[in-house]
């Protein structure tokens, strides 16, 4: 049995004061730190949304579009986001209180300007893999707990891909270690994950 903790996009950009802030996004930091310090995990992996300045998911790249409008990217429907998590900027850094010294592997994503990558495992069109799945397989991971931002986007698609791409791995979402963008989207995301076989739990229920 090899247990891994996956921290999704716990970056300044998704916390209050960031460019795409999630309400109470910073509240996931103490939960993530407590889980990492618990000794329950053999491995800790973290994803980082890591966009070029001209990423096609940014409203700024589309004439007449405002943030949160719907648009298109490479012929697919795409939410137009505010510019966020641009490579090398403070917005893309991990939250300063996250205990990053405990992270064994960092997976960056969203570098291709022509496709978005909500999942830490592969682009939204499912064409290019990031390498995280292979890393977890190579390390013999059998149980994966997921926390981070945002529940209704990157957390959801990462957890669904974990179930899909890591057959036999038990995937759990620790809900109090996650925050989302849209409350309705969060409810739908939790239901979609549950239906796919992700166990939805809380840190206190599992003893942390
Ligand atoms: C995310 C929207 C755009 C996320 C990333 O981390 O959930 N959401 N890029
Ligand atoms: Zn992004």
Domain boundaries, the chain: 3-50+87-201
DSSP code per residue over 94-158: BPTTS-GGG-SEEEEE---TTS---SSSB-TTS-SB-SHHHHHHHTT--EEEEEEE-IIIIIHHH
Q: Can you tell me which atom of ligand 1 is nearest the CA of 11?
A: 6
49 CA to centre of ligand 2 in angstroms: 5
The model's confidence at residue 193, banded by pLDDT at 50, 70 and 90, is very high
48: which strand partners?
108
CATH of domain 3-50+87-201: 3.40.50.850
The per-residue pLDDT of the chain, averaged, comes to 98
Assign 165 to helix, strand or coil: helix
Q: Can you tell me which atom of ligand 1 is nearest the CA of 150?
A: 7
- Contact (Cβ atoms closer than 8 angstroms) between residue 56 and residue 117: no
What is the predicted pLDDT for the residue at 114?
98
199 CA to centre of ligand 1 in angstroms: 22
d(CA 208, CA 206): 6
Pairing label, strands 76-79, 70-73: antiparallel
d(CA 123, CA 57): 12
pTM of the model: 0.98
Q: Can you tell me which atom of ligand 1 is nearest the CA of 155?
A: 7
At 108-149, the pLDDT tens digits run 999 999 999 999 999 999 999 999 999 999 999 999 999 999
Tell me which residues are annotated as active site: 9, 109, 154
At 49-100, the pLDDT tens digits run 999 999 999 999 999 999 999 999 999 999 999 999 999 999 999 999 999 9
At 13-41, the pLDDT tens digits run 999 999 999 999 999 999 999 999 999 99
At 147-175, the pLDDT tens digits run 999 999 999 999 999 999 999 999 999 99
Establish whether residue 154 lines the binding site of ligand 1, counting it when its CB lies within 6 angstroms of any ligand atom: yes
d(CA 66, CA 58): 9
Long-range contacts of 92-96 (CB under 8 A, 24+ apart): 92/11, 92/12, 92/13, 92/48, 92/49, 92/50, 92/51, 93/11, 93/12, 94/10, 94/11, 94/12, 94/46, 94/48, 95/10, 95/11, 95/12, 95/15, 95/26, 95/29, 96/12
Nearest CA to ligand 1 atom 6: 154
* CA 167 to chain CA centroid, nearest Å: 20
């Amino acid at each position: 049995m090899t247990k891994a903790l996956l921290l999704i996009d716990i970056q300044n950009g998704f916390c209050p004061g960031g460019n795409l802030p999630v309400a109470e996004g910073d509240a996931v930091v103490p939960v993530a730190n407590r889980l990492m310090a618990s000794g329950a995990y053999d491995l800790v992996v973290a994803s980082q949304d890591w966009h070029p300045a001209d990423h096609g998911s940014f409203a700024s790249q589309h004439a007449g579009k405002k943030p949160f409008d719907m648009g298109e990217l490479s012929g697919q429907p795409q939410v137009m986001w505010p510019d966020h998590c641009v490579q090398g900027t403070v917005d893309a850094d991990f939250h300063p209180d996250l205990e990053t010294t405990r992270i064994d592997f960092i997976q960056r994503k969203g570098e291709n300007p022509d496709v978005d990558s909500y999942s830490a495992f592969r682009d939204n069109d499912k064409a290019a893999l990031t390498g995280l799945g292979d890393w977890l397989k190579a390390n013999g991971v059998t149980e994966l707990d997921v926390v981070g931002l945002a529940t209704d986007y990157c957390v959801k698609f990462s957890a669904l891909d974990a179930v899909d791409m890591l057959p036999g791995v038990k995937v759990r979402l620790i809900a109090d270690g996650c925050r989302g963008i849209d409350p309705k989207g969060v409810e739908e995301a939790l239901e979609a994950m549950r239906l796919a076989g992700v166990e939805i739990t809380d840190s206190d229920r599992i003893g942390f």
